[in-house]
Amino acid sequence: MSENIQNPTPIEAPEEFVVTLQTPFQRFCLDFFESRVASAAFVVLVGILFIAICAPLISPQNPYDLSQVSILDAKMAPGSQSFDGWTFYLGTDGAGRDLMSAMFYGLRISLGVGVMSGMIAMCIGAAIGLAAAYFGGRIDAIIMRIVDIQLSFPAILVALILLAVLGKGVDKIIIALVIVQWAYYARTIRASALVERNKEYVEAATCLALSHNRIVFKHLFPNCLPPLIVVVTIQTAHAISLEATLSFLGVGLPISEPSLGLLIANGFDYMLSGYFWISFFPGIALLITIVSINLVGDQLRDVLNPRLDR
């Protein structure tokens, strides 16, 4: 007895107990970083975001400040030196700009356009999809018919038609990308909202005579978020790729806002003469961005899918 008091056996918490102490967010993080590929993609993505946000601070030169750019440095190979002594690690483009700096600035524009259009499209699409699912009936039928018709046309075609009509510009391409994307969000959120809508908590909220707005946005919406988050990541990657394609075709961003797609298009003119790096490196940057967003999105889908038992 006395022995027990002097040396009390330390109370070991049972393992399940520890698990329940995690917040949902911690559990989500643990699940997410289980996959090495996804963790690596996440780190790369954070790095890309950092570069995009801090582009003016970390770029070796400001490629659009004419006093820092010399035409004598044009089309220099990667690793060569300018005559005032610094190194162009990725070479220079046709106007003598440091390609690495131009890419950092381009990444900023590409990501900005992609994320901005994704967010706006998500807000519009989610509101419309929720309305369709919540009110049902005729409203639902009409909205979904419009969504169906729009999705039967390829995204690039819709964007091309819109830009042919609207003209060039950052605002125009964001409008075009929003119109292209909203239908995907509307369809996704409608599908999950249809399931959630018939659950008891919505019934309870309806019995409390809460307003439509409150039920839809405070009760229904948060429960439809997981699939939406997945679609946001995948669609953002699509938007970035689509913007690059449209800018390459010369119908997207104006020449004053050089995204990665425009950098590649500029390099195209020099490629047949053997200056491959001008469009090669921006393409690699685009590829890394898109692949890492897709990998993160894939892992999110696995983690957030309630049907996969974890």
154-189 exposure pattern, b = at least 16 Cβ within 10 A, e = fewer: ebeebbbebbeeeebebebbbbbbbbbbbbbbbbbb
Among 48, 115, 229, 249, binds other proteins (CB under 8 A): 249
- Told to check if 268 binds other proteins by CB under 8 A, we report yes
In one letter, which amino acid is 199? K
H runs (alpha helix) in 33-169 = 36-53, 55-58, 99-135, 137-151, 155-166
- Told to check if 164 binds other proteins by CB under 8 A, we report yes
State the minimum distance, in angstroms, from the CB of residue 13 to other proteins.
40
Stretch that binds other proteins, among 95-103, 123-131, 155-163, 221-229 (CB under 8 A): 155-163
Give the x-and-dash track for 113-152 against other proteins (CB under 8 A).
----------------------------x---x---x--x
- Told to check if 294 binds other proteins by CB under 8 A, we report yes
Measured CA distances, 119 to 68, 229, 296 (Å) = 35, 11, 17
State the minimum distance, in angstroms, from the CB of residue 126 to other proteins.
23
Measured CA distances, 77 to 81, 164, 229, 286, 298 (Å) = 9, 37, 42, 20, 37
- Tell me which residue of 76, 61, 189, 79 sits closest to 123, measured CA to CA: 189
- Told to check if 44 binds other proteins by CB under 8 A, we report no
- Told to check if 244 binds other proteins by CB under 8 A, we report yes
- Told to check if 166 binds other proteins by CB under 8 A, we report yes
CA distance 94 to 96: 6
Among 10, 15, 272, 307, binds other proteins (CB under 8 A): 272
Measured CA distances, 131 to 151, 197, 216, 277 (Å) = 19, 11, 8, 49
Among 110, 235, 241, 259, binds other proteins (CB under 8 A): 241
- Told to check if 270 binds other proteins by CB under 8 A, we report no
CA distance 310 to 305: 9
Among 78, 226, 250, 254, binds other proteins (CB under 8 A): 250
State the minimum distance, in angstroms, from the CB of residue 173 to other proteins.
14
Q: Which residues bind other proteins (CB under 8 A)?
A: 141, 145, 149, 152-154, 156-157, 160-161, 163-167, 237, 241, 244-245, 248-251, 261, 264, 267-268, 271-272, 274, 276, 279-280, 283, 286-287, 290-291, 294
